[in-house]
Structure 1
Amino acid sequence: MLRAEEMSDRLELQDLLIRYSEAIDRREFDELDAIFTPDAYIDYRDTGGIDGRYPEVKKWLAEVLPSFFERNAHMLGLPAIKLAGDTATARTFCFNPMILRGDTPKVMQVGVWYDDEFVRTADGWRLSRRVEVKCYDKVL
């Protein structure tokens, strides 16, 4: 049986994953400051992006996503969360259709796993590491 604290931690981690997706989909990149630790490592290379520390990747997201995609919508599966005191890991599947910019817009369908590490901070749970692992992508 789950203890109340463990249930609370799991819900907070799920909320963090949802807030990330909403911030990206709404292009509200400053909201990511309350999701990642300042020194978080992020790796989007498997899907053609960059890797690096959070500030560099945040800047890249803000420049690249609006330039190449009209819209996108993250749809998350249930995360497989493992708690270990003030740290946690999760693996979450994400289906992300993205509308490519152009004269004839096309839909790029991307399926990835987010392999994440979290740390509890004075301000609550934060992502300290995210590695995106491509399952598939297809342009329709």
Structure 2
Amino acid sequence: MQVRNVQAMVDRFEIEALRGEFTDAGTMRDYDRFAALFTQDGAWRMPHIGVEFGGREEIRAGIERLQGLWEYFVQNVHPGTIQLDGDTALGRAYVAEFGRLRDGRSHLNHAVYHDRYRRTPDGWRFAERVYQVRYADSTPLAGSAVEERHG
């Protein structure tokens, strides 16, 4: 019984890290890493804008195209639920994001990712992420992007 509890804790930790990697890879525009977070046949869906990508190649091309539309974009992910079932799991992650598109439109929204996860030889990956916006605000953002130098 103890071993199973430890494995469940490890699985939850790894899935939470996967969700954090998703946000970091997207924000840092690391498109190869972003796509690698999905299973080979994984899907990323955003029904509110009629977008769906299937497979790592489409996901990689899709995130690069979508991020290219933004002057700046910030996403924060908050823990949700994880329901383990052997080598698969279901979960939800809560998201707050804002940004300004290159055409001048602004977006602030709160959303939920409905996730399916699968354990692979490379660790836990997204089998599917479905983005559901729960609140949207298109009031122009007063701030601006600040370029910082690292290193």
TM-score, normalising length from structure 2? Answer: 0.82
Per-residue CA distance 1:67-118 (angstroms, 9 max, x = gap)? x21221111121200000100011111001112224xx55310211100000
| Count of aligned pairs between the two proteins | 136
- How far apart are residue 62 of structure 1 and its match? 0.5
Matched, 1:3 2:5: yes
Extract unaligned runs of 5+ from structure 1: none
Give, in angstroms, the shift of residue 119 of structure 1: 0.5
Distance between the aligned counterparts of 1:26 and 1:8, measured in 2? 26
Aligned equivalent of 1:33: 35
Distance 2:6 2:62 in 1: 39
Q: 2:105 & 2:34 partners in 1: Cα distance?
A: 27
5+ residue gaps, structure 2, are: 140-151
Partner of 1:123: 122
Percent of residue pairs bearing the same amino acid type: 26
TM-score when scaled to structure 1?
0.88
Q: Among 3, 20, 23, which residue is 2:22 paired with?
A: 20
CA-CA distance at 1:49 after TM superposition: 4.7
- RMSD of aligned C-alpha atoms? 1.8
| Structure 1 residue 139 displacement after superposition | 1.4
Partner of 1:84 in structure 2?
85
Say if 1:14 and 1:79, in contact at 8 Å, map to a contact too: no
Q: Is the 8 A contact 1:50 1:57 kept in 2?
A: no
Question: 2:132 maps to which residue?
Answer: 133
Runs of 4+ aligned structure 1 residues displaced above 6 Å come to none
- Give 2:67's aligned amino acid: L
Q: State the one-letter code of the partner of 1:26.
A: M
Bigger Cα Rg: 2
Q: 1:51 to 1:135 in 2, by over 3 A?
A: same
**Structure 1 residues 99 and 51, CA gap change in structure 2 (3 angstroms):** same
